[in-house]
Amino acid sequence: MPEAVRYTIFQTGWGHFGLVGNESGLRRTCLPMAQARQVESLLLESHPTALYDRRLFQTLRRQIIAYFDGACVNFNRDIPILLEGLSPFAHSVLTACRNVRYAETISYGELAAKVRCPKAARAIGGLLARNPTPLIIPCHRVVRGDGKIGGFSAAGGIPLKRRMLEIEERTNSSAVWSIPGSRSSLG
Protein backbone atom coordinates (compact mmCIF):
# COMPACT_ATOMS: atom_id res chain seq x y z
CA MET A 1 0.00 0.00 0.00
CA PRO A 2 1.47 3.38 -1.00
CA GLU A 3 2.38 5.84 1.73
CA ALA A 4 -0.02 8.74 2.22
CA VAL A 5 1.17 12.04 0.81
CA ARG A 6 1.20 14.75 3.46
CA TYR A 7 1.85 18.47 3.60
CA THR A 8 2.86 21.04 6.15
CA ILE A 9 2.91 24.81 6.24
CA PHE A 10 5.03 26.81 8.66
CA GLN A 11 6.07 30.37 9.31
CA THR A 12 9.49 31.70 8.27
CA GLY A 13 10.88 35.19 8.59
CA TRP A 14 9.77 35.82 5.00
CA GLY A 15 6.28 34.33 5.16
CA HIS A 16 4.58 30.94 5.11
CA PHE A 17 6.50 28.07 3.49
CA GLY A 18 5.06 24.71 2.42
CA LEU A 19 6.33 21.16 1.96
CA VAL A 20 4.69 18.06 0.47
CA GLY A 21 5.98 14.53 0.79
CA ASN A 22 6.04 11.41 2.91
CA GLU A 23 8.57 9.08 4.54
CA SER A 24 9.96 8.25 1.08
CA GLY A 25 10.92 11.83 0.35
CA LEU A 26 10.09 15.39 -0.55
CA ARG A 27 7.77 15.99 -3.49
CA ARG A 28 7.13 19.73 -3.54
CA THR A 29 8.01 23.00 -1.86
CA CYS A 30 6.28 26.35 -1.93
CA LEU A 31 8.43 29.42 -1.33
CA PRO A 32 7.26 31.98 1.26
CA MET A 33 3.96 33.72 0.74
CA ALA A 34 2.09 36.18 2.94
CA GLN A 35 -0.91 33.94 3.61
CA ALA A 36 -0.90 30.28 4.65
CA ARG A 37 -4.06 29.81 2.54
CA GLN A 38 -2.11 30.78 -0.60
CA VAL A 39 0.56 28.19 0.15
CA GLU A 40 -2.03 25.51 0.92
CA SER A 41 -3.83 26.23 -2.35
CA LEU A 42 -0.62 25.84 -4.39
CA LEU A 43 0.39 22.65 -2.59
CA LEU A 44 -3.02 21.03 -2.96
CA GLU A 45 -3.22 22.03 -6.61
CA SER A 46 -0.47 19.53 -7.37
CA HIS A 47 -1.32 17.04 -4.58
CA PRO A 48 -5.09 17.29 -3.97
CA THR A 49 -5.28 14.23 -1.70
CA ALA A 50 -2.44 15.29 0.60
CA LEU A 51 -3.24 15.34 4.31
CA TYR A 52 -2.03 18.03 6.70
CA ASP A 53 0.70 16.90 9.11
CA ARG A 54 2.28 19.55 11.34
CA ARG A 55 5.16 17.17 12.25
CA LEU A 56 6.26 16.50 8.66
CA PHE A 57 9.95 17.16 7.84
CA GLN A 58 10.85 18.74 11.19
CA THR A 59 14.60 18.81 10.53
CA LEU A 60 14.15 20.30 7.08
CA ARG A 61 11.71 22.86 8.51
CA ARG A 62 14.34 24.03 11.02
CA GLN A 63 16.86 24.40 8.19
CA ILE A 64 14.42 26.41 6.06
CA ILE A 65 13.52 28.70 8.96
CA ALA A 66 17.23 29.27 9.62
CA TYR A 67 17.82 30.02 5.91
CA PHE A 68 15.15 32.72 5.86
CA ASP A 69 16.54 34.11 9.13
CA GLY A 70 19.81 34.70 7.26
CA ALA A 71 21.83 31.60 8.20
CA CYS A 72 24.12 30.00 5.65
CA VAL A 73 22.36 26.67 5.09
CA ASN A 74 23.43 23.90 2.77
CA PHE A 75 20.39 21.66 2.76
CA ASN A 76 20.97 18.08 3.78
CA ARG A 77 21.64 16.01 0.65
CA ASP A 78 20.36 12.93 2.50
CA ILE A 79 16.79 14.14 2.10
CA PRO A 80 15.48 12.30 -0.95
CA ILE A 81 13.53 14.28 -3.50
CA LEU A 82 10.95 12.30 -5.43
CA LEU A 83 11.13 13.41 -9.05
CA GLU A 84 8.53 11.07 -10.46
CA GLY A 85 7.49 11.19 -14.08
CA LEU A 86 10.48 13.23 -15.24
CA SER A 87 12.81 12.38 -18.10
CA PRO A 88 16.41 11.28 -17.51
CA PHE A 89 17.48 14.71 -18.83
CA ALA A 90 15.28 16.46 -16.25
CA HIS A 91 16.69 14.26 -13.47
CA SER A 92 20.26 15.07 -14.48
CA VAL A 93 19.58 18.82 -14.64
CA LEU A 94 17.80 18.95 -11.28
CA THR A 95 20.50 16.80 -9.66
CA ALA A 96 23.25 19.06 -11.01
CA CYS A 97 21.33 22.13 -9.87
CA ARG A 98 20.94 20.65 -6.38
CA ASN A 99 24.73 20.57 -6.13
CA VAL A 100 25.10 24.34 -6.55
CA ARG A 101 26.32 25.44 -3.13
CA TYR A 102 25.09 28.28 -0.97
CA ALA A 103 26.10 31.76 -2.22
CA GLU A 104 27.37 30.35 -5.55
CA THR A 105 25.73 30.88 -8.91
CA ILE A 106 25.96 29.07 -12.20
CA SER A 107 24.76 30.12 -15.64
CA TYR A 108 22.20 28.19 -17.64
CA GLY A 109 24.99 27.44 -20.14
CA GLU A 110 27.36 26.18 -17.45
CA LEU A 111 24.61 23.94 -16.09
CA ALA A 112 24.01 22.65 -19.63
CA ALA A 113 27.71 21.82 -19.92
CA LYS A 114 27.64 19.98 -16.56
CA VAL A 115 24.91 17.66 -17.86
CA ARG A 116 26.79 17.21 -21.16
CA CYS A 117 24.18 19.02 -23.25
CA PRO A 118 26.02 22.27 -24.05
CA LYS A 119 23.31 23.57 -26.40
CA ALA A 120 20.46 23.00 -23.94
CA ALA A 121 20.63 26.24 -21.93
CA ARG A 122 17.17 27.38 -23.07
CA ALA A 123 15.65 23.94 -22.38
CA ILE A 124 17.24 23.99 -18.92
CA GLY A 125 15.64 27.38 -18.23
CA GLY A 126 12.24 25.92 -19.12
CA LEU A 127 12.86 22.87 -16.98
CA LEU A 128 13.94 24.92 -13.96
CA ALA A 129 10.75 26.99 -14.32
CA ARG A 130 8.93 23.74 -13.39
CA ASN A 131 11.27 22.76 -10.53
CA PRO A 132 8.95 21.09 -7.97
CA THR A 133 11.24 21.84 -5.02
CA PRO A 134 12.64 25.37 -5.25
CA LEU A 135 15.14 26.26 -2.51
CA ILE A 136 16.04 22.60 -1.87
CA ILE A 137 16.93 22.32 -5.56
CA PRO A 138 18.28 25.88 -5.67
CA CYS A 139 17.17 27.03 -9.11
CA HIS A 140 17.39 30.61 -7.81
CA ARG A 141 21.19 30.22 -8.08
CA VAL A 142 21.04 29.76 -11.86
CA VAL A 143 21.60 33.05 -13.71
CA ARG A 144 22.09 34.25 -17.26
CA GLY A 145 25.44 33.87 -18.98
CA ASP A 146 26.03 37.63 -18.78
CA GLY A 147 25.62 37.49 -14.99
CA LYS A 148 22.18 39.11 -14.97
CA ILE A 149 19.57 37.52 -12.74
CA GLY A 150 17.42 35.88 -15.42
CA GLY A 151 13.90 34.61 -14.83
CA PHE A 152 12.19 33.01 -11.85
CA SER A 153 8.73 31.50 -12.12
CA ALA A 154 8.29 30.46 -8.46
CA ALA A 155 5.92 32.38 -6.23
CA GLY A 156 7.51 35.75 -5.52
CA GLY A 157 9.12 35.92 -8.98
CA ILE A 158 12.31 37.79 -9.80
CA PRO A 159 12.14 40.05 -6.71
CA LEU A 160 12.24 36.96 -4.47
CA LYS A 161 15.12 35.44 -6.49
CA ARG A 162 17.07 38.68 -6.18
CA ARG A 163 16.41 38.85 -2.42
CA MET A 164 17.51 35.22 -1.93
CA LEU A 165 20.73 35.78 -3.88
CA GLU A 166 21.43 39.00 -1.96
CA ILE A 167 20.97 37.37 1.45
CA GLU A 168 23.26 34.50 0.41
CA GLU A 169 25.88 36.95 -0.83
CA ARG A 170 25.77 38.90 2.46
CA THR A 171 25.93 35.85 4.69
CA ASN A 172 29.31 34.69 5.90
CA SER A 173 29.68 31.42 4.00
CA SER A 174 32.31 30.20 6.44
CA ALA A 175 29.58 29.55 8.99
CA VAL A 176 27.45 26.95 7.22
CA TRP A 177 24.51 25.85 9.35
CA SER A 178 23.55 22.24 8.80
CA ILE A 179 21.78 19.56 10.72
CA PRO A 180 23.52 16.22 10.37
CA GLY A 181 21.26 13.33 9.63
CA SER A 182 20.10 10.76 7.21
CA ARG A 183 16.81 9.63 5.82
CA SER A 184 15.64 9.35 9.42
CA SER A 185 15.76 13.15 9.57
CA LEU A 186 12.66 13.31 7.36
CA GLY A 187 10.36 13.06 10.35
- Residues classed as catalytic: 139
4 Cα distance to chain centroid: 22
Residue 52's DSSP bridge partners are 7
d(CA 102, CA 76): 12
Bridge pairing between strands 6-12 and 25-33: unpaired
Residue 43: other Cβ atoms inside 10 A: 23
Amino acid (1-letter code) at residue 62? R
